[in-house]
Structure 1
Amino acid sequence: MGKVTLRNLAAHKIRLVLTGVAVILGVAFVAGTLIFTDSMNKQFDELFSRVGTNVAVDVRAKKVVDGDDDGMAAQPVPATVLKALEGVDGVKDPKGNVTGYAAVVGKDGKVIGTPQNGPPQIGMNWTGTGIYDLSAGKAPQGPGEVVIDDRTAEKGDLAVGDTVQVLTAGPPQRMRVVGLSDAGNLMGATLTAFDTPTAQKLMLKPGYFSDIEMGSSGPSQAELRDRVAKVLPSGMEAVTGEKLREEAKSDIATMMNFFRTFLLVFALISIFVGAFIIFNTFSMLVAQRTRELALLRAVGAARAQVTRAVIGEAVAVGIVGSTLGLLAGAGLATMLQSQVGDAGDGGLTFTATPVIWSYVVGIVVTVVSAYFPARRAAKIPPVAAMRDDVALPQRSMRIRLALGSLLTLAGAGLIGAGLAGNGGNPVIPVGVGAFAVFIGVAMLAPVISVPVLRVLGAPAARLMGSPGRLARQNALRNPRRTAATAAALMIGLALITTVNVLGATMRASVDDQIDSQFGADYLVASEGAGGVAAGAAQKIQAVPGVTAASPTYVGDAKIAGKDASYISADAAMIVKAAKLKIVSGGADLGNAGIMVDEDTAKDNGWKVGSAVPVQFTDGKTERLTVTGVYAKSDLIGTRLVSPQAYMRHTLNPSVDAIVVDAAATTAATKTALESALKEYPNLKVSDQSALKEDARKQVDGFVTFLTILLVMSVIIAAVGVVNTLALSVIERTREIGLLRAIGISRRQLRRMIRLESIMIAVFGAVLGMGIGVAFGAALQNALAEDGLGVLAIPYGTLAIYLAVAAVIGVLAALWPAWRAGRMDVLKAIATE
């Protein structure tokens, strides 16, 4: 039987190559993801191996609140602690570090780097014994000198001796570049270094450090940590250098694991789609070799031998596809690295993991997909070799209808339960539910295809004459095959449609929120992570026509024992700016007040006058009085704290945004504001329309990114249409010869095959878009209370996708139609 398997592989090279393409694309996605994340992990490991070098113990403030700022809200360490540490036995070379936000403006007037949702812009003090070395110039000395890293200098076209503008939380600084640092691969981040007093003044506060690190003159890290802890004041902690490095690596590992899982989900979708193609291809191959397989049974081959012969072909396809997919995956990983800028400069890292998983996924998926056709082939009775009309046994449509309906309903129930929440992880039930719905609809597709294809094929049958009627009949001839081919396209377009419906819903919901909740004339905010610099508010207030400019702050605290974020600002201004509806109480926060929304008040049993314990990031607890309760606001959130209370517990306050009211919201006013803030290139002045546009751009970027990831599954589905048509043409060789003999032209024959392909592709698109709209509506309904209050269906985009599906059908039919048109009529008629 081994020879039979090899002979069949040689006899069906083109068909199996097309099947292998589905394996290659799916495996390439898996391999590319694993190679890319392995490469990035290695680069992060190399980067963090330099963090904490020669550090035995690090002293820092205890983190009271686990906020989203990843520890940046922790209080700084007083310089007096450094003096105390110098007297601890075993402490070697203690030094204080200052870190914070600092960005450099290039010669083009733009901030260097990609601050919005991009790599950090790091400012630090130059200690002379850090992990970075000078590559040119000298160390900074005095308030007018700065050192920047080589890559930042290259991006900004800067050199030693140039004068640059440096942005920090304070006023912009004009400083001279006195040195360049060889910072290695900072993964796209920018590095700016000052002398210690300057760094403290610009990024922290004079007399304070972000942390203090030290080496050991003999004791172990754990022993030295315990000694250091004894002299620390309340609110400070000592950790070993090893723990410091582990924390840094752990944070990155968590991020990379999420990114890997995120990409692998899309890889599995592509593999899932490919499984349909492989199943369909082997089903058709087995059907075309029915007499051959029956003859093998007649000459003594056992059922198991026939099954193994077909499975052997699948294994061969899986091995070849996995090998080529692994190579393609390396190319995909290279492309992914090129999209992450400087972070991808470290080259690829190859480990055993992507190799093993590539072959496991490729071979297992191919074998499993081919198993059921192989089982059906083994059931062919030997006597069937004597008959002309032998066919593979088919299961009843009733069983398929019942099982498909059950899976679809069960999947919909799981999706509903997952989206309902109930405190659990919704990803698993939603994912399993979606999988069940796809399988269920794929099983129902043969039943659905008959009425749908009659409708879709009606225009072609009426307008295209005989080719149109024949195309519709061919598509309807084998509903199972048509459905299996269309199902692959259905899955990809269902997910793409879901993403687009969700994107349109997000855009419509944000527009509605801004219209209904944004009452200010302008909002001034930073496009990076540095917040609004000190002094900007005064410049805004000095603009003619500006009637009010109120800074807002964002903080984290333990409120009533639970970690929570809050907004701090002048309540009267915020009530107007956010169109807050006061349910009870008033907007006078006073010196120690807090306002909460209705849901928060209800959940905690608070009312106007209630005392709420709040532990701030400095570790101190204060009881704030509820002065007002307001209706839910997506723009403000659930808590508004008195600015005085925020200032009392924040050593280095940072303005998040400035709310601006003006006498007239004209283009001249906005231009005047932008002109007043021209020395702050990281700040943006936005009116209501600009806020909407920014939100749309973010949503569009999100939708585009996910759509690109899902395009792979659509490409695989298109390959499946090509495969099905090519095998169908071979299967109908005699029929095509007879059609040519009775007068149908080559052009009409090619048109018939193209129309059949278009019908199959459009059928898959209609099914997919229908499911996608249903999924999108379910997501909107589940998230209506979380900001997605407006369901929007992008009809124009869906029409484009339908047209794209038709184009896919045309392209998929090119080669099969060309091959059919070149058939010799007499040889085709003589084919058995």
Structure 2
Amino acid sequence: MMARVTLRNLAAHKIRLVLTAVAVILGVAFVAGTLIFTDSMNRQFDDMFSRIGQNVAVSVRATDVGGGGRPVPAAVVESVKKVDGVENVVGNVTGYAGVLDRDGEVAGAPAEQGVPKLGVNWADDAGFTMASGRAPRGPGEAALDTATAQDAGVGVGDSVRVVTSGPVQRMTVVGLIDTGDLMGASVTAFDTATAQRLLLRPGYFTDLQMESAGPSESKLRDRVAAVLPDGFEAITGEQLREETKSEVAQVMGFFRTFMLVFALISVFVGAFIIFNTFSMLVAQRTRELALLRAIGAARPQVTRAVLGEAVAVGVVGSTLGLAAGAGLALALQGVAGLDARLVFTPTPVIWSYAVGIVVTVVSAYFPARRAAKIPPVAAMRDDVALPQRSLRIRVALGSLLTAAGAALIAAGLAGSGNGAVALVGGGAFGVFIGVTMLAPVISVPVVTVLGAPFARLLGAPGRLARRNALRNPRRTAATAAALMIGLALITVVNVLGATMRTSVDRQIEDQFGADYIVQAAGGAAAGASVGPDVAGTLAKVPGVEDASMIYGGRAEIAGEEVRYVAGDAAAVAHAVRLETVAGKAEFGPDGILVSEDNAKEHGWTVGSPVPVRFPDGQSATLRVSGIYAENAMVGGQIVDPRVYLAHAVKPQIDLVVVDAADAGAATTKAIEDALGAYPNLEVSDQAALKDEARAQVDTMVTALTTLLMMSVIIAAVGVVNTLALSVIERTREIGLLRAIGLGRRQLRRMIRVESIVIAVFGAVLGIGIGVAFGAALQNALADQGLTVLSVPVLTLCAYMAVAAVIGVLAALWPAWRAGRMDVLQAISTE
């Protein structure tokens, strides 16, 4: 019998439950889309790597620091070729190489996106295939991947300009390469001698790969390892493929976790909507449920009947959410510029239904329990209402959580480092839950204030709207809480973004002492480097007083692999306004400059020995010649350029710092003209550096805000749902209001104002909490660069206005439906 009751109720409340299912659909779509997209990418990478390394039995590479930066000399190649069982030894050369289009821009994805521009030497079994043309055979020839060639507007036989670490090379395109799919990476192939000259060093290879003439990979690896000099290792092809897959899996795992966090936020917000909807449905069916109890239905049966409706909503919502997730995965592939087919594994299906059904059932459980507690005698009363618990327990628990969260935040602010951030984060979550529990109490005074202007300006509709919002504080709070969560997180992101922008501006003002810096587009992270002749070219520009190179490298310093900079001590000190706290800003014989925190961590003072091991396998002991105050632009250590060049495989010039007699527009243009042969280089002054930093922060803030907007959309659906159910619940009341003279326009205005007040209440809570959390996180991260708190007031005011607009839009359908009610039928409704 109860199963039939459940089905009948589902059929009777289709519109209400469809709105509830929308919250499930959106949350599940986010989860499913993320899982389908990452599964598809992982399958694509597995296929790609199995093709690329399928003929490799053993690989030889450096074991030293710096990411294996030590090259393999040709002598090692000759030794390996003599090993029994080795055949087809191939030496690989890789580095940075970009292709210029007809406008002088580097073709392919922008360098800011971190997509690599690979230069390689062509090998017939490198895993790529020649789509058309032939392999490069001389110093003036190159082969391009088809996507880069298309973007550059060139084909086989055309002349193209290629950028490496030196001047632009003019080459002829002799072939087009099919790379499969390398996530948008550009590939430019040269013959081996040209690749070594442009990308590495003549007579050296990045690594070696070989096939087996019979022995197993492990046996061949052992034989090859026996002839290798110190600093090199041999690994099997299987190990090489697994390491490559593991690196990609780590990146995709981070992306999956990152996206799922936002998906779960959306699901969490949806839980508020589901809870609110079922609470209202149960309240509206109190008499019906009491009649079921009166004719013999037991409490567990009533509970199961309501939960059965929740299961049905969860199943439908999960199914539609899974389908929507596939569409989202396709959209993500389009944004990423990929065209691979989607891969459907059991994982997204299982998680979609698990999330959708479990969240719906758990959210509906407490309303279902309350429904079962309705006494049978209530069926005989006209004024029956669902019993409500006192707010005392809720207020006490909410106050306790808020106080505990505030205490954790205070403890975090008193500390430093990642532990302090964790305390602040945990405290923020506690305050979040506490405020949510206190929202019914908070709503009374806040809604009273927010509704006052409407009551004065709109008369009766405004007063009625305010009273309706105050009538059921629990419902108002639950509806507003969903919007509060999304806007609180968005506010935190925007406060931290504004703080980062202001802090970086202050940092550049305090630490940027040069007039200009010149760096390669994309920077060292993309593998780009400034050419060794650039500093000399700039020094000859009229008005330029000095141009100094600053190198970047990696080394094992005091047992820890770190990145360091190297450059003339005086030039670096001037360029970044280095503040020396001990010793002098000069190297002397075998000197090294270290930051104050670095010195404290290792117990160094001026004159202390510092053990260093470089990527070429050589070790040295440097001595601290100076200690400087923390400086984000140079990091923890600065090395003498002579020491760096003595151990560098191929010098990596990160930037050139330039001082001019007059850093005006004329000097800027003269510098840009002098760099005409280096179109991949960028000239920046202090203002340009600020703009670049702001653009990066803005991109991050926009991306995070966009992801969090899903929770706001779900919250808006919740406002629609609550108002729609409220209109149904107040059908008789609305009829009476119409009967005593309230016009349709006034009725719709009343519902719109009620919606606006609820939405703005959620926005006030969310923005207030977000600003407080943002300030707490800024304080906790002050020692990591966030030194200046900045609150984007105009942006937050815009969000408040958006919340009001959400209220207006959410009220359109409920208000329209209320206005169309027949007055006599509404009055006669029980």
Same fold per TM (> 0.5)?
yes
Q: Matched residues in 1 for 2:362 and 2:462: separation?
A: 37
Q: One-letter code of the match for 2:469?
A: A
Q: One-letter code of the match for 2:551?
A: Y
- Alignment of structure 1 residues 365-514 onto 2, 5 Å: 365-414=359-408, 433-514=427-508
* Number of the residue aligned with 1:290: 286
1:474-511 Cα offsets, whole Å, 9 max, x none, are 00000000000000000000000000000000000000
8 Å CA contact retained: 1:591, 1:645: no
* Number of the residue aligned with 1:771: 769
Q: Matched residues in 1 for 2:268 and 2:415: separation?
A: 27
8 Å CA contact retained: 2:409, 2:427: yes
Q: One-letter code of the match for 1:288?
A: Q
1:376-424 Cα offsets, whole Å, 9 max, x none, are 0000011111111211121111101011112223344455667877777
Q: One-letter code of the match for 2:95?
A: G
* Number of the residue aligned with 2:3: 2
* Number of the residue aligned with 2:751: 753
SS at match of 2:210: strand
8 Å CA contact retained: 1:526, 1:532: yes
SS at match of 2:111: coil
Q: Matched residues in 1 for 2:500 and 2:144: separation?
A: 40
Q: Matched residues in 1 for 2:33 and 2:405: separation?
A: 30
8 Å CA contact retained: 2:167, 2:677: no
* Number of the residue aligned with 1:52: 53
Q: Matched residues in 2 for 1:793 and 1:736: separation?
A: 43
Q: Matched residues in 2 for 1:483 and 1:133: separation?
A: 62
SS at match of 1:789: coil
**2:664 corresponds to which of 663, 666, 671:** 666
Q: One-letter code of the match for 2:483?
A: L
1:265-320 Cα offsets, whole Å, 9 max, x none, are 00000000000000000000000000000010000000000000000000000000
Is structure 2 residue 636 aligned with structure 1 residue 638? Answer: yes
Structure 1 residue 439, shift from structure 2 partner: 2.4
* Number of the residue aligned with 2:795: 797
8 Å CA contact retained: 2:553, 2:652: no
Q: Which moved more, 1:417-426 or 1:551-560?
A: 417-426
**2:75 corresponds to which of 60, 71, 80:** 80
Q: Matched residues in 2 for 1:422 and 1:266: separation?
A: 27
* Number of the residue aligned with 1:688: 686
Q: Matched residues in 1 for 2:801 and 2:47: separation?
A: 49
Structure 1 residue 539, shift from structure 2 partner: 1.8
8 Å CA contact retained: 1:498, 1:772: yes
1:165-199 Cα offsets, whole Å, 9 max, x none, are 11112222111111111211121001111011100
Q: One-letter code of the match for 1:605?
A: G
**1:99 corresponds to which of 67, 74, 94:** 94
Q: One-letter code of the match for 2:601?
A: D
8 Å CA contact retained: 1:167, 1:173: yes
Is structure 2 residue 337 aligned with structure 1 residue 337? Answer: no
Q: Matched residues in 2 for 1:339 and 1:828: separation?
A: 51
8 Å CA contact retained: 2:412, 2:423: yes
- Alignment of structure 1 residues 535-574 onto 2, 5 Å: 535-574=533-572
* Number of the residue aligned with 2:591: 593
RMSD of aligned alpha carbons: 1.5
Q: One-letter code of the match for 2:645?
A: M
Q: Matched residues in 2 for 1:550 and 1:4: separation?
A: 82
8 Å CA contact retained: 1:185, 1:345: no
8 Å CA contact retained: 2:424, 2:777: no
Is structure 2 residue 105 aligned with structure 1 residue 110? Answer: yes
- Alignment of structure 1 residues 192-207 onto 2, 5 Å: 192-207=188-203
Q: One-letter code of the match for 1:718?
A: A
1:613-655 Cα offsets, whole Å, 9 max, x none, are 1111122111111111111111121111110111111121110
Pair 324,823 (structure 1): closer, same or farther in 2 beyond 3 Å: same
Q: Matched residues in 1 for 2:605 and 2:432: separation?
A: 49
Structure 1 residue 565, shift from structure 2 partner: 1.6
Q: One-letter code of the match for 1:675?
A: D
* Number of the residue aligned with 2:295: 299
Is structure 2 residue 580 aligned with structure 1 residue 582? Answer: yes
Q: Which moved more, 1:486-495 or 1:600-609?
A: 600-609
Q: One-letter code of the match for 2:101?
A: G
* Number of the residue aligned with 2:615: 617
**2:782 corresponds to which of 781, 784, 787:** 784
Q: Matched residues in 2 for 1:424 and 1:600: separation?
A: 17
**2:648 corresponds to which of 647, 650, 675:** 650
1:649-706 Cα offsets, whole Å, 9 max, x none, are 1121110011110110101111111111122222110000000000000000000000
Is structure 2 residue 265 aligned with structure 1 residue 269? Answer: yes
Q: Matched residues in 2 for 1:93 and 1:418: separation?
A: 59
Is structure 2 residue 13 aligned with structure 1 residue 23? Answer: no
* Number of the residue aligned with 1:68: none
SS at match of 1:749: helix
1:338-378 Cα offsets, whole Å, 9 max, x none, are 1112xx21121111111111111000000000000000000
Q: Which moved more, 1:20-29 or 1:609-618?
A: 609-618
Q: Matched residues in 1 for 2:590 and 2:5: separation?
A: 86
Q: Matched residues in 1 for 2:779 and 2:412: separation?
A: 12
Q: Which moved more, 1:582-591 or 1:546-555?
A: 582-591
8 Å CA contact retained: 1:171, 1:534: no
Q: Matched residues in 1 for 2:363 and 2:422: separation?
A: 24
1:13-60 Cα offsets, whole Å, 9 max, x none, are 110000000000000000000011111111111221123221111111
Q: Matched residues in 2 for 1:413 and 1:61: separation?
A: 51
8 Å CA contact retained: 1:58, 1:239: yes
Q: Matched residues in 2 for 1:533 and 1:172: separation?
A: 10
SS at match of 1:334: helix
Pair 204,575 (structure 1): closer, same or farther in 2 beyond 3 Å: same
Q: Matched residues in 1 for 2:596 and 2:295: separation?
A: 81
Pair 424,607 (structure 1): closer, same or farther in 2 beyond 3 Å: closer
Aligned residues: 824
Q: Matched residues in 1 for 2:375 and 2:351: separation?
A: 38
Structure 1 residue 129, shift from structure 2 partner: 2.9
* Number of the residue aligned with 2:247: 251
* Number of the residue aligned with 2:168: 172
Q: Matched residues in 1 for 2:773 and 2:474: separation?
A: 25
Structure 1 residue 763, shift from structure 2 partner: 0.1
TM-score (norm 1): 0.97
* Number of the residue aligned with 1:33: 34
**1:163 corresponds to which of 159, 181, 189:** 159
8 Å CA contact retained: 1:269, 1:713: yes
**1:322 corresponds to which of 306, 314, 318:** 318
**1:744 corresponds to which of 720, 734, 742:** 742
Q: Matched residues in 1 for 2:260 and 2:187: separation?
A: 33
Q: Matched residues in 2 for 1:573 and 1:26: separation?
A: 54
Identity of aligned residues (%): 69
1:594-625 Cα offsets, whole Å, 9 max, x none, are 11111211222211111211111122111111
8 Å CA contact retained: 1:147, 1:177: yes
Q: Matched residues in 2 for 1:660 and 1:606: separation?
A: 32
